[in-house]
Amino acid sequence: MFLTHLDCPRCGAQHDAHRLQNLCSCGSPLLARYDLAAVARAVEPAALAGRGADLWRYRELLPVREDRHVTTLGEGWTPLWHAPAYGALIGLERLLVKDEGLIPTGSFKARGAAVGVSRAVELGARHVAMPTNGNAGAAWATYAARAGIGATIAMPLAAPLITRQEVVAAGAELHLVDGLISDAGKLIAGLIAASDGRIFDASTLKEPYRLEGKKTMGYEIVEQLGWRAPDVILYPTGGGVGLIGIQKALVELRELGWLTGPAPRLVAVQSTGCAPVVAAFERGERRVRQWPDARTVAFGITVPAPLGDELILDALADSGGTAIAVDDADILADLREFGRTEGLLLCPEGAACLTAARLLRERGWLSATDEVVVLNTGAGIKYPGTVAHD
C-alpha cells in the first residue's frame, strides 16, 4: 500500500489516512496522497496489461490496504470508442465516447462506491449514509450490501424511478425528499448527528475515497490511448467528483512519468437550468453561488452548490479548460441524433457533453482535428422518458 496521508488543498493541513475522516477542520474536502516515487519503482505501465479488466488493475494507486476488504462487482475498464458518424455531423473528426453505462449499477458512480465502501469497511465503518440524485445512492446501496454493511440513502422524489428501486432491492433504508439533493443532504445530516457515531457520512466529497474510484476513469483513458492524453475531455458536472478525479489522475500519471506530452483541456458541462460552476467560471471566481430553482432533464447534474467548487474551478484553470451550460431541449435533440447515427442511447448527462462539444466546435474553441473524449456517465435505459415515441 502506497497511501501516505490525506491532504487539505485549501489550508495545507495533513490528516491521518488510516482512520475514518470526513472534511478538514477548515471545511474543505481531503485528497488522498501516495508515495508516487515508490509506486514508480514497484510497477511499470507495461505490467498493467496482464492484470484484470477492472479498476483494481491500478491497485498501487488506490487506498485499500488488504485484498480481503476489496468490494467489487467487476467495475471499470469501460470501452473508449470512436463516434465517426456523429462526429462528422458536428465537425469533429476524432470524437471518442467513454461509455460508463456498461458498469455495475449502470453508471460511473459504481467506481466511487467500490473504492469508497472498500476503504470505509477496512477502516471500521458498519453503516454509511448519503444524499443522492439517484445513481450514487443506488451504487453505494449495492456495494454496501455486497460488503455486508448497512446503508441509508436520501434522494429527491424526482430522481429516476429505477435508482429508487435499486436502493430498495439492495436492502438499504431509503428516504424520499420533496426537494433537491441539498434538501436530502439536510435530512442525512440530521440522521448522522443522531446516530452517536454509528453512521459514517459518505456524502459527495465529505469522505476522500469516492474520488479515488472516480479518478480511474482518467487512468483508463490514458492507458486506452497508449499512455497518452486526448486534447480535450468533456465531463457532465454536478458534484464534480469525476472531473476532479480525472484531473488528479492526470497529475499523478505525469509525476509517475507514465504520461508525457500536452495535458488535456477539461470542460465542465452543465445545464442552463443549473449552472453554478459555469457562472463562477465566467465571473472569474473560485467559489460558486447557490443556484436558484435548479432543474434540468439531466437530473444527475442538478447540484445547486457543489462542495468541491474550488477543486472543480482549479481543475479547469490548471488545464486551460472551460465551462459551458447547454439547454435541455438541445440535450434531448442531440441524445436522439446520437442514437440515430451511432446506435447508442446515452444518459442525458452524457448527451449534454455532446451538445457542449457541438457548441464549442461552432464557436471555434474546438478544432476539427482535436481528439475529444466525451464521458457518457450512465446507461440511457435508466432514463426512458428522454425519448418520446412519435
| Cβ neighbours, 10 Å, residue 256 | 18
**Rounded average pLDDT over 71-89:** 98
- Asked if residues 289 and 267 have their Cβ atoms less than 8 Å apart, the reply is no
pTM, two decimals, is 0.97
**Three cell numbers at 235?**
465531463
The grid coordinates listed for 25 are 477542520
pLDDT tens-digit map of 369-387: 999 999 999 999 999 889 8
DSSP string, 316-338: HHHHT-EEEEE-HHHHHHHHHHH
Mean pLDDT value across the chain: 97
| CA 219, 222, 224, 227 torsion-angle sign | negative
Half-sphere exposure of 280 (CA within 13 A, CB side): 25
Quick one: pLDDT band at residue 120, thresholds 50, 70, 90? very high
Where does the pLDDT of residue 93 fall: very low under 50, low under 70, confident under 90, or very high at 90 and above? very high
Which pLDDT does position 390 carry in this prediction?
65
- Alpha-carbon separation of residue 235 from 108, 205, 245, 265, 333 (angstroms): 12, 17, 11, 11, 19
What is d(CA 343, CA 336) in angstroms, rounded to the nearest whole number?
10
DSSP helix, strand, coil percent of the chain (3-state; round to 5): 45, 15, 40
- 388 phi-psi bin (left φ>0, alpha ψ -120 to 50, beta other): beta
CA distance 99 to 7: 31
Q: H helices within the chain, ranges in order?
A: 36-42, 84-90, 109-122, 135-147, 161-169, 181-193, 210-214, 216-224, 241-256, 276-283, 309-319, 328-342, 348-362
Q: Looking at residue 164, what is its pLDDT? A: 96
What is the Cα–Cα distance from 147 to 144, expressed in whole angstroms?
A: 5
Give residue 388's pLDDT: 81
**Cβ atoms of residues 109 and 139 within 8 Å:** yes
- pLDDT digit string, tens, across residues 304-344: 999 999 999 999 999 999 999 999 999 999 999 999 999 99
CA-to-CA distance for 159 and 161, rounded, in angstroms? 6
Cell numbers at 264, concatenated: 488535456
Assign 389 a pLDDT band (cuts: 50, 70, 90): confident
Q: From CA 81, how far away is CA 99, in angstroms rounded?
A: 8
Report the percent of the chain where pLDDT is more than 70: 100
| DSSP E strand stretches across 9-132 | 14-15, 31-34, 80-82, 94-99, 127-131
- pLDDT for the residue 182: 93
Q: What is the pLDDT of residues 11-64, one digit of tens each?
A: 999 999 999 999 999 999 999 999 999 999 999 999 999 999 999 999 999 999
d(CA 186, CA 135): 19
Could you read off the pLDDT of 237-293 as tens digits, one per residue? 999 999 999 999 999 999 999 999 899 999 999 999 999 999 999 999 999 999 999
